[in-house]
């Protein structure tokens, strides 16, 4: 008769306490909360298609993807202290692992509404952290929020993005996908947005959120006159180089500018996954800005990550791991929120919306695998092990959201009537 022998826990990765103060050590004063969190987690996991194996060999759950818990005490204290932020920080600290990280996170995403007991859900405002005031997307703070993510390093993003440097969902012809499919799928996504907005020769096009310039380049190839705006200095510098190399300096004007400061009149506006950085407080401002800048009879083509309306309402004031470490000030809208905001505050009307969430899951998988393959290069750029675990968790967390159906991505077409009389 054999007995189970738990494998030795791997040594924790070194964490720089100066750079990662909340990751370096689990909070010492959270033992009572940790005990409460352990009871809640054990109760939740017991009903999930998941396996959680503790350091001593005890296994929880109904079976499924494996979560190896190397330091249960620190894990539960972090969750008791900071909820899902602590869950992510525990991964960054190396206190748990998962051979199939996306699988584990997808199970949690599928069952997210049942993880916290209903009495605690009703008291969410009392225990859930609120977003810091410094992350409000005012003109003062938005540039800092954008800087913290998009100005990390062009070389970092180049490690895992394809040659188009497109950092948004691709549109594939079919599944399964592989790395050589990605660049063409990104161009297909861009071309579809330009088609929706009816961009062609002579179109006065505004792009809000330049990225690294691929959409502006493809629009200029069509003969459009493009103005494109960003708040990322790193992106602007490289996009300007790419525009110059393509010989499109006469067709593309690049601005370092907040969307609220834009002026002019445009036949079409395109924005790819930028609304996620606007914040619910400013959605009305954002769509009124689009309305102000769009000529009568014009079109707006947006690509937006969305979440279910009821989940957006439940979590829109909560401070999340993604907001703390990846996208400060970010918030995903719902389709209902977009529709309601445009109809109540502008002359814009949504005329179509097409979802392609599984395509984003595949895009993220390809990025994550590429980033993992090039981990040594990331280290050489100065991004330490804690950063790499954070970035891997971010990509896997996002992929799981789309694979579970918790998240979706859509291309939306908004139209503006040719005249006020038409609008009435």
Question: What would the pLDDT profile of 26-77 be if each residue is shown by its tens digit?
Answer: 998 778 889 999 999 999 999 999 999 998 899 999 999 999 999 999 999 9
Between CA 67 and CA 52 the distance in angstroms is 5
Write down the CATH number for the domain with range 135-423: 3.40.50.150
Which residues are CB-contacts of 195 (< 8 A; sequence separation ≥ 6)?
A: none
Supply the pLDDT for residue 121: 54
**Nearest 5°: phi and psi at 303?**
-115, 125
Between CA 155 and CA 413 the distance in angstroms is 33
Q: What is the mean pLDDT of the chain?
A: 93
End-to-end CA gap in the chain: 81
DSSP string, 296-310: EEEEEEEEEEE--HH
Helix (H/G/I), strand (E/B), else coil: 409: strand
Helix (H/G/I), strand (E/B), else coil: 251: coil
For 147-157, write each residue's pLDDT tens digit: 999 999 999 99
Of residues 133 and 159, more confidence is placed in 159
Q: For residue 246, how far is the Cα from the chain centroid?
A: 30
**β 266-272/294-306 pair status:** parallel
Examine the pLDDT at 137 and tell me if it is beyond 80.
yes
Domain parsing of the chain, residue ranges: 21-128, 135-423
Q: Which of 395, 354, 351 is CA-nearest to residue 374?
A: 395
For 294-337, write each residue's pLDDT tens digit: 999 999 999 999 999 999 998 888 999 999 999 999 999 999 99
Supply the pLDDT for residue 61: 97
Residue 256 β-bridge partners: 230
Between CA 391 and CA 381 the distance in angstroms is 14
For 338-351, write each residue's pLDDT tens digit: 999 999 999 999 99
Which pLDDT band holds residue 2 (cuts at 50, 70, 90)? very low
Dihedral in degrees, nearest 10, Cα atoms 86, 92, 94, 95? 0
In angstroms, what CA-CA distances link 265 with 189, 205, 278, 296? Answer: 25, 9, 22, 9
- For range 135-151, the mean pLDDT: 94
């Amino acid at each position: 008769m054999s007995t189970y022998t738990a494998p030795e826990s791997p040594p924790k990765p070194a964490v720089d306490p100066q750079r990662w103060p909340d990751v370096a050590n689990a909070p010492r004063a959270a033992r009572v909360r940790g005990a409460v969190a352990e009871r809640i987690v054990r109760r939740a996991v017991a009903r999930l298609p998941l396996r959680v194996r503790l350091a001593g060999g005890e296994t929880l759950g109904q079976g499924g993807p494996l979560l190896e818990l190397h330091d249960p005490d620190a894990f539960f204290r972090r969750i008791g202290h900071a909820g899902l932020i602590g869950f992510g920080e525990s991964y960054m600290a190396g206190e748990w692992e998962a051979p199939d990280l996306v699988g584990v996170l997808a199970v949690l995403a599928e069952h997210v509404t049942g993880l916290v007991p209903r009495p605690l859900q009703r008291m969410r405002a009392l225990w859930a952290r609120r977003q810091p005031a410094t992350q409000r997307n005012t003109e003062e703070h938005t540039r800092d929020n954008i800087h913290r993510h998009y100005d990390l390093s062009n070389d970092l993003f180049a490690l895992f993005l394809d040659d188009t440097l497109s950092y948004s969902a691709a549109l594939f012809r079919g599944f399964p996908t592989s790395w050589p499919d990605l660049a063409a799928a990104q161009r297909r996504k861009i071309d579809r947005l330009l088609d929706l907005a009816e961009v062609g020769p002579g179109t006065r096009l505004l792009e809000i959120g330049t990225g690294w310039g691929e959409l502006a380049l493809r629009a200029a190839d069509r003969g459009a006159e493009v103005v494109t705006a960003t708040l990322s200095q790193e992106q602007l510098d490289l996009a300007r180089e790419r525009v110059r190399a393509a010989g499109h300096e006469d067709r593309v004007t690049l601005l370092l500018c907040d969307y609220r400061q834009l002026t002019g009149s445009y036949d079409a506006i395109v924005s790819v996954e930028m609304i996620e950085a606007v914040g619910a407080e400013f959605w009305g401002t954002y769509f009124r800005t689009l309305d102000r800048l769009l000529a009568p009879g014009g079109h707006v083509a947006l690509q937006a990550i969305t979440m279910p309306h009821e989940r957006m309402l439940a979590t829109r004031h909560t401070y999340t791991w993604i907001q703390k470490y990846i996208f400060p000030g970010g918030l995903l809208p719902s389709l209902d929120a977009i529709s309601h905001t445009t109809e109540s505050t502008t002359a814009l009307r949504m005329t179509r919306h097409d979802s392609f969430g599984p395509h984003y899951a595949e895009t993220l998988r390809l990025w994550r695998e590429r980033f993992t393959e090039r981990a040594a290069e990331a280290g050489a750029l100065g991004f330490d092990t804690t950063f790499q675990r954070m970035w891997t968790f971010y990509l896997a967390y996002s992929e799981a959201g789309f694979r579970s159906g918790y998240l979706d991505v859509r291309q939306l077409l908004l139209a503006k009537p040719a005249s006020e009389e038409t609008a009435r």
